[in-house]
Amino acid sequence: MVGPECPSEDDAVYTESIKAGKSVRAFVSSIYLVLLALSVAFAIQDAQFILMSAVIIVSVTFVFVILYLNFRVLRITITQNHLKVTYGRLNRKIVPLERMTDCEHIQIRLKEYGGIGIRLGRDGTWAYNTSLGDAVRVGISGERPFAFSTAHPKDVCELLQELKA
């Protein structure tokens, strides 16, 4: 549905896609490998666990593939009137620029946000982050502040402030 609630990609003034960082891929891969190794170890110890191990391996693989495919890219779209940040199929934040109160370049830190993904910071800021480091934090009238990863935080803030004015 396209309208005031969902800005059209065709009207975009700025778009950016941020892939999940290498640390995210390494973390997901390491968890998967540990689960795989445990399943194989149980199967080796007792033949009764072979079928159960196969089911576990297939199930875990399916879940990890779906999660990775869903959260591998964060998309930023800025139109004349809206900021839209999409992280996966179900997670999107649309901010009408008229409700934006401020914009600043921040650093996403493990201590503040507790990791990568969709996070609630210690300061009450919702964050969509694909890696630790550069991000933009936007104040929104009547809502919690919102932060998101970007490769060009200064450019994004300048553009948002220019469009708001």
| 159, 78: one domain | yes
pLDDT of residue 6: 57
| 119, 154: one domain | yes
Asked if residue 2 is part of any domain, the answer here is no
Residues found in the chain = 165
| pLDDT tens, residue by residue, 109-134 | 999 999 888 999 999 999 999 888 99
* CATH code: domain of residue 104: 2.30.29
pLDDT of residue 143: 94
pLDDT of residue 50: 76
pLDDT of residue 3: 42
Looking at the DSSP bridge assignments, the partners of residue 148 are 128, 136
Domain that holds residue 28: 22-71
| 58, 31: one domain | yes
| Number of domains, the chain | 2
pLDDT of residue 39: 75
| 78, 132: one domain | yes
**103 Cβ partners below 8 Å, 6+ apart?**
136, 137, 138, 139, 156, 157, 160, 161
Alpha carbons 19 and 36: distance in angstroms, whole number? 26
Among 82, 93, 105, residue whose Cα is nearest residue 151: 105
| 82, 154: one domain | yes
Ranges under pLDDT 50 in the chain: 1-4
**What global pTM score does this model have?**
0.76
pLDDT of residue 54: 77
